[in-house]
Structure 1
Amino acid sequence: MQFDNYNIRLLQNSDIDAYYKMVSKNRKRLEDFFTGTTSRTKTFEDTKAFLAEMLEKVNKREYFPYIIEDTKTHTIAGFLDLKNVDWKIPKTEMGLYIDEKYAGKGLSTKAFILFCEHCFKEHGFRKLFLRTHPKNHSARKIAEKAGFKIEGTIRCDYKTTSGQLVDLIYYGKLNDD
């Protein structure tokens, strides 16, 4: 999927260096709400093992990690993923984070809207959903601009890196919304 000077594509083994650098650079920003990623990528070797696990899950159609690639600089500008895949419905939970250098420029919104279309069309999902902290105003704006609707608040649904239990707002979007 291409737009402007960006390409959205599945993460590959060859992305290991760029992926490790991007996560390392943004670790402080990501650690509370991407605990799995930040805890599994502390060293380059840890990151290699984590990437291998992610790619194995792709083969099983259980998880889909995508990158937003800046085609001018050939760097990773952001990351999108599909997790908690339920093929019986079919539905999936979506995740997104952006490199701090690219934040606040509309890139996340454009990428997310395009990615949603891809998920419905190419993967055949009936429903997409995401969970976000009530104070994550950026994620909430992106979800709402992409046509997601608030379906409720899930109380004490996530434990941050610091051990705090927090509520999450649940957003959903159907393929015919």
Structure 2
Amino acid sequence: MQFDNYRIRLLKNTDLEAYYGMVSKNRKRLEDFFTGTTSRTQTFEDTKVFLAEMLERVNKREYYPYLIEDINTNTIAGFLDLKNVDWKIPKTEMGLYIDEDYADKGVSSKAFKLFCDYCFDTHGFKKLFLRTHPQNYPARKIAEKAGFKNEGTIRCDYKTTSGDLIDLVYYGKLSNE
């Protein structure tokens, strides 16, 4: 998938160094809401194991990690993933984070909308959903621009890296919307 000067593609083993570099550079921004990623990528070796596990889960159709890549520089601009896949429905939870150098430039919104269409068309999901902190206004705006509907707030639904229990706002989008 391509838009503007960006490509969205599945993460590969050969992305290890670039992926580790991007997460390391953005660790402080990511640590509260991407606890799995930040805790599993503390060192290059940790990241190597984590990446291998992610790719094994792709083979099992349990998890799908994608990169947003800047075509001009071959730099990772962001990360999209599909987690909590439930093939019985079929539905999946979406995640997104963007490198600080690409934040506030519209890349996230365009990538997310295109990726939603891809998830419905290619994977055949009937529902996409995401969860975010009530004060994460950029994520909420991206979801709403992509046609997601606020389905409610679940209280004390997530533990941050610092151990705080926080509420999460749930958003959902159906394939026929």
Structure 1-normalised TM-score? 1.00
Q: Structure 2: how far apart are the matches of 1:71 and 1:47?
A: 24
- Deviation of 1:71 after TM superposition, in Å, equals 0.5
- Specify every segment of 5 or more residues in structure 1 that has no aligned partner in the other structure, as ranges: none
SS at match of 1:112: helix
SS at match of 1:113: helix
Q: Structure 2: how far apart are the matches of 1:78 and 1:3?
A: 14
Q: Structure 2: how far apart are the matches of 1:150 and 1:175?
A: 16
Q: What is residue 145 of structure 1 aligned with on the other side?
A: 145
**What stretches of structure 1 move > 3 A for 4+ residues in a row?**
none
- Deviation of 1:131 after TM superposition, in Å, equals 0.1
The count of residues paired between Structure 1 and Structure 2 equals 177
Q: What is residue 91 of structure 2 aligned with on the other side?
A: 91
Q: What is residue 165 of structure 2 aligned with on the other side?
A: 165
SS at match of 1:131: strand
Q: Structure 1: how far apart are the matches of 2:162 and 2:153?
A: 21
Q: Structure 2: how far apart are the matches of 1:154 and 1:54?
A: 27
Q: What is residue 17 of structure 1 aligned with on the other side?
A: 17
Deviations 1:141-167 (A, max 9, x none): 000000000001011000000000000
- Deviation of 1:62 after TM superposition, in Å, equals 0.1
Q: What is residue 82 of structure 1 aligned with on the other side?
A: 82
How well do the aligned residues superpose, as a CA RMSD in angstroms?
0.2
Q: Structure 2: how far apart are the matches of 1:123 and 1:154?
A: 27
SS at match of 1:51: helix
Q: Structure 2: how far apart are the matches of 1:143 and 1:161?
A: 24
Q: Return the letter of the residue paired with 2:58.
A: V
Q: Return the letter of the residue paired with 1:100.
A: E
